[in-house]
Structure 1
Amino acid sequence: MPSTEPLTSRPIAAAHDRPRRPRVYVSSAALDLAPARARVVEVIRSSGYEAVSMETYGADSRPPIERCLADVGTCEVYVGIVAWRYGSTPPGSAKSFTHLEYDEAVRLRKQVLLFHLDEQASWPTVHVDRSQGEVRRLRKIQARDHIVDHFADVDQLGGGVRRALHRLFGESTAPVPNLLPFIANRHAQRDELARAARGERLELSPSVVVVHGAAEQSHHKFAEFMQEQLLGRFLRAAGPVHMFGIPLRAAELDQPDVITRRIAGSCSLDVDADVDTLARRLHELGSLTMLRFPVEVEMRRGRPDVTQVDQLIRYFEVWPHRRPLRVLPVISAQYRLPSGWAAHLPWSGSAADRLAAAIGEVAGAAVVLPQLGNVEMVEVEVWAELPEVRRLLGGTDPLPTIRKIFQEYEQSTRERGMPMEKLAAKLGELLRSGAA
């Protein structure tokens, strides 16, 4: 039987023992997307990951396609960018380099992040294939099997890549002072979790919790808040709570065996174990294991697509149930609201409410926490009064700047409050300016 020791006594790694940075492969046609590729490489590197692209290739005895496919295999993440050119094809192939690299990433079950030029975006005609059949077939295949993000310019593309890597790895992608917490109280979510624990809705293992809200609300930070503070207090967990991110492609969510292998591999257990064996081994650890599943939820033609949430909930319904709670799947449903031309359709204004309602309809017995919303200015004003903040700012009163940040954002968007990640970036700039 494989050892479960890594879960129960895993030490904090020293800096020199930490694993290498994740490698991210950048794939696209070259001539039309050169500025886009450069921006994506810049974003990947500034986010702390290693960018792999053909621009870095030196002399090599292998054919180019062999080198490209080998590099796809060494990377954890594949970033594919498609505009209106199919790209060149290697000798003897009917498919382009980009298409072959994408196929290889899918075959090897890499994390696939796809970005398509928006249909309405202006684009030089010199960079548009005369025959659109091949490139449109590739875009159709990718949109069928993955959630595809769209961009109108290189800045929007760079932001999309940064957010996607952020959600995938659950890490902050912009360096900010350690003093900056993600300050939202999240009392509504905390209180609902406490009620569920008191009402014995979290007594069986596994019990599913659904966290939902816009992608920019720092779902990973709320998951850490649950792990470090809430679960031990409300569930009286024995020992530390272990959290593992379980990344899955959309096409894998209707394959229970694949989900089981991903959970086992992430938890350092035997990847060939069946559901019963995996559940038993996690239960035998004696501590609470939190399995976090980040999924994207979007509006498609005005209808919320909550298929991924539904599939994960149904998957855990077939697990054997035991007492006490030892396995807690947390589905982090992150809304991707309409962009481009779709943002102007009549239903787009209420998209978040409709997404939230749709999640509630498929949740069944799962515990659905209130929607993660914007941070209110009063919460930031309380944070700004902390002595540590005032010291870092040299005694300068930050409240006028904070109020201006909120005023400008709320006037431009007509929203109340600010999304967590946008606010964190602004406060990070404020703290860095004070420290400088």
Structure 2
Amino acid sequence: MLRADNPRMSQTEVLVARPPAGGPGRGRRPRVYVSSPALDLADARRRVIDVVRRSGCEVVSMETYGADGRPPVERCLADVGSCEVYVGIVAWRYGSAPPGSRRSFTHLEYEEAVRLRKHVLLFHLDEKASWPTAHVDRSQGAVRRLRRVQARDHIVDQFTTPDQLADGVRRALHRLLGENTAPVPGLLPYVPDRHAQQEELAEAARGDRLGLSPSVVVLHGAAGQAHHKFAEHMQEQLLARHLPATGTVHMFAVALRAAELDQPDVITRRIARSCSLDADTDVATLAARLHELGTLTMLRFPVEVELRYGRPQVRQVDRLVRYFETWPRRRPLRVLPVISAQYRAPSGWAERLPWRTSGAARLAEAVRKVAGSAVVLPELSNVEMFEVEVWSELPDVRRFLGGGDLVPAIRRIFEQHERTSGERGMPMEKLAAALTYLLRSEATNTEMA
């Protein structure tokens, strides 16, 4: 049953009142705990802490500690519990351990984050990366066991340099929490066109492929294409347009660890918790509760897929599609799982291989294959320059800039990116960052004039 402190609160009000998964309520910045051995990763920690702050989050780490009467391990574990997100970084040192413990501070902090079901983001130094021997434990047993456990239970990002690590943390926080920077309006064209995806969704609605509950939609493309923004666009505009009988659409992010994909009961509990429903339930009861709400509930599952040794790793997509095949089918559509499959480029030596075209095509084909009867939208791809030029001529944009013309600056942004990257168009998130800076600069210049 639904839980609420106020017995007069309706079911729908409880559902709407819950803060987004992984983030606090409006008005408080998300708290992010940065965990790693200190001596060997000092530079990397500085870069990561700076990125977390620039992302609009509050950093919690030993660098922020002052005088405290508690034992250090007690303070560390309490801080892990106070945060929404845990960022763990491991190279080739296991780190020091508190008195009486065989596990290091880093290991204990990681276990506490898992126990409390925090959002866990893990980053390992690539085995092929050059690293000072002074920063490598003589005995590698403990640190390698920790790395194996983390790689078994989570998708772990690899890095070779502090800059690459910082960029990986930035992308991961963006995917998990969305934009937290100071607002430059909804002027930014996060979904500038995406007509292919919109037409496929409309066709699925007309063909009754979205008639039964649940119906699975698979969104896929490179990680930098702002998947979460397209999901919000679906929630706020597209579904109401193509499925007018659904009414208000509520969306909840459901984060799952790799090991949980083989445990249907765990997936069910995670979904229930995300929707503020009783976690001690089964699939049939959960489906009935969501159906009784009378509104459409989007369940967004962000997953990462990569090309490993030439093979697309799409197991998470496959398991989630198979899981929802076990749900009872009923009309009308009330539960819409959206699997957001985000391609991740290989790291280390594999990053230098020509994977961008052939690898991406194989990832896309593998996603379509395992998704089966689900509605698989066309791949999210780079934004073309002409789309942004059209956007810059919108009345709201021109009004925001006091009638200024952005087209010359937009062309310079695209020319520089295409020249340095060798690819056509720009990834949505990189484009959004460039346009945010451009809008603020132009608006400031207009005010000064």
Band the TM-score falls in, shorter-chain normalisation: over 0.9
Tell me which amino acid in the other structure corresponds to 1:87.
G
Change (3 A) 1:327 1:410: same
The offset of 1:215, in angstroms, is 0.7
Change (3 A) 1:354 1:245: same
Q: Give % identity.
A: 72
Give yes or no for contact 1:8–1:285 (8 Å, CA) kept in 2. no
Change (3 A) 1:278 1:153: same
Give yes or no for contact 1:183–1:383 (8 Å, CA) kept in 2. no
- Per-residue CA shift, 1:326-373, capped at 9, x if unaligned? 111110111101233112235564111111111111112111000001
Distance 2:137 2:343 in 1: 34
The offset of 1:212, in angstroms, is 0.4
- Structure 1 counterpart of 2:246: 238
- Structure 1 counterpart of 2:260: 252
Distance 1:348 1:137 in 2: 33
Change (3 A) 1:385 1:162: same
Distance 1:285 1:382 in 2: 40
- Structure 2 counterpart of 1:311: 319
Distance 1:38 1:346 in 2: 32
Change (3 A) 1:207 1:260: same
Tell me which amino acid in the other structure corresponds to 1:273.
T
> 3-state DSSP class of the match of 2:388?
helix
Superposition TM-score, scaled by structure 2 size: 0.91
Matching of residue 5 in structure 1 with residue 24 in structure 2: no
Distance 2:216 2:440 in 1: 39
Change (3 A) 1:124 1:258: same
The offset of 1:124, in angstroms, is 2.5
- Per-residue CA shift, 1:253-311, capped at 9, x if unaligned? 21111111111111111111211111011111111111111111111111101111111
Aligned residues: 433
> 3-state DSSP class of the match of 2:129?
coil
Matching of residue 417 in structure 1 with residue 422 in structure 2: no
> 3-state DSSP class of the match of 1:158?
helix
> 3-state DSSP class of the match of 2:238?
helix
**More displaced stretch, 219-228 vs 243-252:** 243-252
Residue among 163, 183, 188 paired with 1:180: 188
The offset of 1:250, in angstroms, is 1.6
Tell me which amino acid in the other structure corresponds to 2:12.
L
- Structure 2 counterpart of 1:383: 391
Distance 1:390 1:197 in 2: 35
- Structure 2 counterpart of 1:329: 337
Distance 2:369 2:170 in 1: 31
Unmatched tracts of structure 1, length 5 or more: none
Change (3 A) 1:410 1:198: same
1:256-335 matches, within 5 Å, as: 256-335=264-343
Give yes or no for contact 2:246–2:334 (8 Å, CA) kept in 1. no
Distance 2:85 2:377 in 1: 30
- Per-residue CA shift, 1:148-176, capped at 9, x if unaligned? 1122222222211111111112x114435
**More displaced stretch, 80-89 vs 373-382:** 80-89
- Structure 1 counterpart of 2:105: 97
Residue among 25, 47, 51 paired with 1:39: 47
> 3-state DSSP class of the match of 1:114?
strand
**More displaced stretch, 212-221 vs 31-40:** 31-40
Matching of residue 136 in structure 1 with residue 144 in structure 2: yes
> 3-state DSSP class of the match of 1:184?
coil
The offset of 1:180, in angstroms, is 2.0
- Structure 1 counterpart of 2:29: 21
- Per-residue CA shift, 1:224-263, capped at 9, x if unaligned? 1111111111112332111111111222121111111111
- Per-residue CA shift, 1:85-104, capped at 9, x if unaligned? 11112222222111121122
Distance 2:425 2:200 in 1: 22
The offset of 1:19, in angstroms, is 6.1
Give yes or no for contact 1:176–1:432 (8 Å, CA) kept in 2. no
Tell me which amino acid in the other structure corresponds to 1:140.
R
Give yes or no for contact 1:162–1:173 (8 Å, CA) kept in 2. no
Give yes or no for contact 1:392–1:434 (8 Å, CA) kept in 2. no
Residue among 425, 429, 436 paired with 2:437: 429
The offset of 1:6, in angstroms, is 4.7
Change (3 A) 1:346 1:372: closer
> 3-state DSSP class of the match of 2:245?
coil
Change (3 A) 1:17 1:244: closer
Give yes or no for contact 2:381–2:427 (8 Å, CA) kept in 1. yes
Matching of residue 192 in structure 1 with residue 200 in structure 2: yes
Superposition TM-score, scaled by structure 1 size: 0.94
> 3-state DSSP class of the match of 2:251?
strand
> 3-state DSSP class of the match of 1:237?
helix
Give yes or no for contact 1:111–1:249 (8 Å, CA) kept in 2. no
- Structure 2 counterpart of 1:371: 379
- Per-residue CA shift, 1:162-203, capped at 9, x if unaligned? 11111112x114435113231421100011111111111111
Distance 1:231 1:348 in 2: 32
> 3-state DSSP class of the match of 2:276?
coil
Give yes or no for contact 2:211–2:333 (8 Å, CA) kept in 1. yes
- Per-residue CA shift, 1:393-432, capped at 9, x if unaligned? 4444321221121112112222111100011111111111
- Structure 1 counterpart of 2:86: 78
Distance 2:180 2:125 in 1: 24
Distance 1:255 1:12 in 2: 25
Give yes or no for contact 1:6–1:268 (8 Å, CA) kept in 2. no
**More displaced stretch, 293-302 vs 111-120:** 111-120
- Per-residue CA shift, 1:363-386, capped at 9, x if unaligned? 121110000011011101101112
Change (3 A) 1:396 1:17: closer
Tell me which amino acid in the other structure corresponds to 1:260.
T
